[in-house]
Structure 1
Amino acid sequence: MLKQNLQFKLTQKLSPQQIQLMKLIQLPTLAFEQRLKEELIENPALEGGDEELYDKDDLEHSDEFDEFDNFDEADDGNSGDDINIDDYLSNDEIPDYKLQANNQSENDDERESPYASPLSFHQDLINQLSTYILSDEQQIIAEFLIGSIDDDGYLRRDIQDLVDDLAFTQGVYTDEKAIEKILNIVHQLEPSGVGARNLQECLLLQLKHKTPTEAVLLAIDIIEHQFDAFTKKHYEKLLQKYSISQEQLKKAIHEIEKLNPKPGGTFDGNNRLTENIIPDFTIRVNDGVLELSLNGRNAPSLHVSKEYQDMLKTYKSSKDKSSAQKDAVQFIKQKLDSAKWFIDAIKQRQETLFVTMNAIMHFQQEYFLDGEETSLKPMILKDIADMIGLDISTVSRVANSKYVDTPYGTKLIKEFFSEAMKNDQGEDVSTLEIKKILQNVIEAEDKHKPLPDDQLADILKEKGYPIARRTIAKYREQLDIPVARMRKKI
């Protein structure tokens, strides 16, 4: 049986313009510039630069142009979608949103980031093979082994797998013994330790490259035969095993500590991607007053293409308007709408970024004035959202991907956010402040007898921060500080 009823429903949908704005807000400066380039390519009605525009008086509405205004309604029924060319044109060379406070000209910023063209890590290893006399087959095997080395300098693949891959991909049929022979040659290349299959082998290769002093020989024996005891810092066991003094063991350990556990990671010519951070904001202290500015590269100069304006003028002056002309003007209208939406989104993005960072700056004013991390106040996204009247998700998009240049270094904005905890006086203090104090306590501890977490909790409690041991452990892990046993030094 069919029934018909009336149901009221309240729904909220994001318009394409809102979605576009949200995506633009979360982009950092470099990604925003790339997005701008893409839009300029996709939309021929949008142009960048400060070129002089036609006088908008040339395109004033007239009775003759009314046909264009009503074109949509007559043609496809989209009433209320009339276009006013004046909304897209301006006789100013610089858009008004470029003139708002604290914005810089795009020419004020250094836009070029020169890079060297270094030799790659793997190519450098292959070049070193030229100093060895190898047959054609051995050369192929050696280059294949080098190609299998990761960016840290390790060969993390099983030898038998390499034998199979050489047969399938290179047509070279060999065995594990031949691979091991060539691998020994790779182990002699620089940086020392390259081609190792694990950390133990990596350290051994580097030690064997050193001058064989007493401390080095002892270090080699420790890594080769007592590696587990060394990694667990069972120094008493090592002292008894080798019947040596603490000073002798200390010298051997010092030799090991100087080794590089990732020989490929520090290669000067490696070509791994390096993030190029360009601050989105700059904060300066001028006579005790904080000054905030937005990177001028976030405020591009955009305008409507002159060619598109000429097309509209031609259509306006034409007496006989053909169907093809109307189709062309409809296309122009769509591109003009898109251009207008994009320019408005950039304006809103700029305003949102500035007002959000301005609120953060004033909230953390004490920190930005003296640079002391313990001055950071507890601050969550809702605090800033309430101050500026925006949604928490909008503040999150700004904080998660933007950097600010301060007198104390370039900082990721989200690093200024932290939760609050109560001290012994009932005052809210930032967890960042507690972590900094915990780090200072650990740095000042006696490394011969490092403090366990329960003792660290007692020390912080004496300093006025009653924190549980499990919380100390959590903060210590977040600071990338190992447990007490692993911090022990002889």
Structure 2
Amino acid sequence: MKQGLSLRVSQHLALTPQLQQSIRLLQLSTLEMAQEVEQMLDENPFLDRADETADREDFGLDHSDVPVSAGEQIAEAAAAPEGESVAPDSELPFSQGTSSTASEPSESAAGEAAERKADGDGALEENWDGDGSVEMAPDDGEWGGDAPARNSGSSGGDDETATAADLARAPVSLQDHLHEQARCLRLSETDQAALYFLIESLNDDGYLDDDWTELALAFWRLLHGREAASPSIAAIEVAEEQLRMALGWLHNMEPIGVGARDLGECLRLQIEDLRNTPVAQAALVICRQPLELLAKRDVKRLCALCGLDDETVRAALGLIIGLEPKPGRRFVDVERNVVVPDVLVTHAGRGFKVQLNPDVMPRLRVHDVYANALRQNRGGKGGGGEAGHAAMQQRLQEARWFIKNIQQRFDTILRVSSAIVERQRNFFMHGELAMRPLVLREIADELGLHESTISRVTTAKYMATPFGTYELKYFFGSSLGTETGGNASSTAVRALLKQLIAAENASKPLSDNQLSELLKAQGIECARRTVAKYREALRIAPANLRKTL
């Protein structure tokens, strides 16, 4: 084998740590971004909030101490255990503002860069030394200064001084509602524990979906302690009997149907609470049949299985339709599902103003005291020596890059949102029926970014518009051909389908084929299968299930 040396020139993509962090921050949602900021504030001593006099909770996520009820303590005791290849993104200039117009660059950028170099920041050869494309001021003055502080929920910030109005607005959970009713019952200590145990075992819909034997075993261990020996079959049967008795009390509580093991039992409990009429009796018989027949409204098979006439079955089905399949639905705390928009779009004269939501923008800066102390100790004369000084210098650079990447993240979101509003101006004026076809590549080409960057920006980011709050991805959609040779947005077609179905005759609903013909009559080429796909995406039932009885 002959050995030799050779030279070869090649190109490869190398992502610096700060660019990797920029890409990662770009794809985070608002909640994930807030968690990332909290983590960096805890880990990096050089990173600080812009307003040091404010409480920490005023700028972060709201936390409140909720008292644990007795039933929750029982449930906790019972549940306790025994014994991508990435494409490079274009570097963007900083934008210190929160509107669609970028701010002017700093007038003393060159002087600050020279000062930083004199202080030794530019000589750092660590992982966070940067790629040299953007200069960074050593003091990293605060940004997002116009963003107001977030309130922690109460007007005074003191939980002990909560007003009656604050307490009245607090949501009541299903468990708390049932516990209030349970306190009115005169029960023994064991029966009360069994009832509390079942209440805490309910899911959000008000069902007992756990296995009955497992519930009995968990209840027995709660009464006798986890360290007790394995229970006998007789002991389990006694626990099951206690739970059955408690289940009877639970079934008589409001809302009716709570504590059911399945949908059929839930419907039966609600029918039994009604006045005893022939229609109610027929509804009870229907609920004991396979629920698939009820969902399909198969009147002929139900008549045959139940021995009832057609008119009675239809009347019973009308009664069942009016029942509540999820008794606990009205007690679900909807506040936890509230979406906080990242971008706000408002009318401004004849156009629209696009701005970032100041409530989601963290106000960060480099801690001046620590940064100045490190700058004065350039020689590493402290207790840590040169190695410790270099480590602290790296942490300072990490804090600066983190602030820069957050700035770049919001600047990119604002640029993409402004481009979307410009492209979809008709939507903001006339609604979703005026939506035009739009793909990620159009925005990417316009802004000089990669298509993957647009995908990250539009994922889990929301825009508040005059017509509601939408995810940025909502404004992108494929196109359908028209008779005139133009294109129609799939979003507009779905909106048109929703409009056609809402205006149909309830006794003779439109089939997918008829909807396709109506769209063709309006010049939109849409096949029946496409209509079915759009209808399912809108969560609209087929024609046979939309028909009224």
Q: How does 1:247-396 map to 2 (within 5 A)?
A: 251-267=315-331, 270=332, 274-312=336-374, 314-315=376-377, 321=381, 324-370=384-430, 372-396=431-455
Query: How many Å apart are 1:203 and its aligned residue?
Result: 0.8
Q: How does 1:85-484 map to 2 (within 5 A)?
A: 87-89=137-139, 94-95=142-143, 98=144, 105-107=146-148, 111-113=151-153, 117-168=170-221, 170-171=223-224, 173-175=235-237, 176-213=240-277, 215-224=279-288, 229-235=293-299, 241-243=307-309, 245=311, 251-267=315-331, 270=332, 274-312=336-374, 314-315=376-377, 321=381, 324-370=384-430, 372-484=431-543
Q: Which residue of 2 aligns with 1:101?
A: none
Matched, 1:44 2:45: yes
Separation (CA, whole Å) in 2 of partners of 1:383 and 1:81: 29
Separation (CA, whole Å) in 1 of partners of 2:50 and 2:220: 57
Alpha-carbon contact 1:424-1:465 (below 8 Å) kept = yes
Tell me the amino acid that sits aligned with residue 354 of structure 2: L
Query: How many Å apart are 1:350 and its aligned residue?
Result: 2.1
Query: How many Å apart are 1:304 and its aligned residue?
Result: 2.5
Cα–Cα, structure 1 residues 426 and 140, in superposed 2: closer, same or farther, change >3 Å? same
What number of residue pairs does the alignment pair up? 465
Query: How many Å apart are 1:134 and its aligned residue?
Result: 3.4
Deviations 1:140-173 (A, max 9, x none): 3333332332111111233333334434554472
Alpha-carbon contact 2:26-2:409 (below 8 Å) kept = yes
Task: Specify every segment of 5 or more residues in structure 2 that has no aligned partner in the other structure, as ranges.
Answer: 54-107, 155-165, 225-230
Partner SS, residue 284 of structure 1: strand
Query: How many Å apart are 1:299 and its aligned residue?
Result: 4.5
Query: How many Å apart are 1:81 and its aligned residue?
Result: 11
Cα–Cα, structure 1 residues 119 and 448, in superposed 2: closer, same or farther, change >3 Å? closer
Deviations 1:172-208 (A, max 9, x none): 7242555433322221122110111111110111122
Separation (CA, whole Å) in 1 of partners of 2:129 and 2:488: 58
Partner SS, residue 377 of structure 2: helix
Cα–Cα, structure 1 residues 472 and 322, in superposed 2: closer, same or farther, change >3 Å? closer
Cα–Cα, structure 1 residues 38 and 132, in superposed 2: closer, same or farther, change >3 Å? same
Percent identity, aligned pairs only, is 31
Alpha-carbon contact 1:378-1:419 (below 8 Å) kept = yes
Query: How many Å apart are 1:339 and its aligned residue?
Result: 1.7
Query: How many Å apart are 1:112 and its aligned residue?
Result: 4.6
Cα–Cα, structure 1 residues 130 and 110, in superposed 2: closer, same or farther, change >3 Å? closer
Separation (CA, whole Å) in 2 of partners of 1:282 and 1:398: 15
Tell me the amino acid that sits aligned with residue 291 of structure 1: K
Q: Which residue of 2 aligns with 1:13?
A: 14
Tell me the amino acid that sits aligned with residue 436 of structure 1: A
Separation (CA, whole Å) in 2 of partners of 1:265 and 1:341: 46
- Of the structure 1 ranges 361-370 and 290-299, higher mean CA displacement relative to structure 2 is found in 290-299
Deviations 1:417-469 (A, max 9, x none): 11111122221111111112222222222222323322322222222222222
What CA RMSD, in Å, does the superposition of the two structures yield over aligned residues?
Answer: 3.8
Cα–Cα, structure 1 residues 384 and 237, in superposed 2: closer, same or farther, change >3 Å? same
Partner SS, residue 285 of structure 1: strand
Cα–Cα, structure 1 residues 271 and 441, in superposed 2: closer, same or farther, change >3 Å? closer
Q: Which has the higher helix share?
A: 1
Query: How many Å apart are 1:331 and its aligned residue?
Result: 3.2
Separation (CA, whole Å) in 1 of partners of 2:129 and 2:530: 62
Tell me the amino acid that sits aligned with residue 43 of structure 1: N
- Of the structure 1 ranges 439-448 and 470-479, higher mean CA displacement relative to structure 2 is found in 439-448
Alpha-carbon contact 1:447-1:489 (below 8 Å) kept = yes
Alpha-carbon contact 1:204-1:223 (below 8 Å) kept = yes
Q: Which residue of 2 aligns with 1:489?
A: 548
Cα–Cα, structure 1 residues 157 and 81, in superposed 2: closer, same or farther, change >3 Å? closer
Q: TM-score w.r.t. structure 2 length?
A: 0.74
Partner SS, residue 463 of structure 2: strand
Alpha-carbon contact 2:478-2:489 (below 8 Å) kept = yes
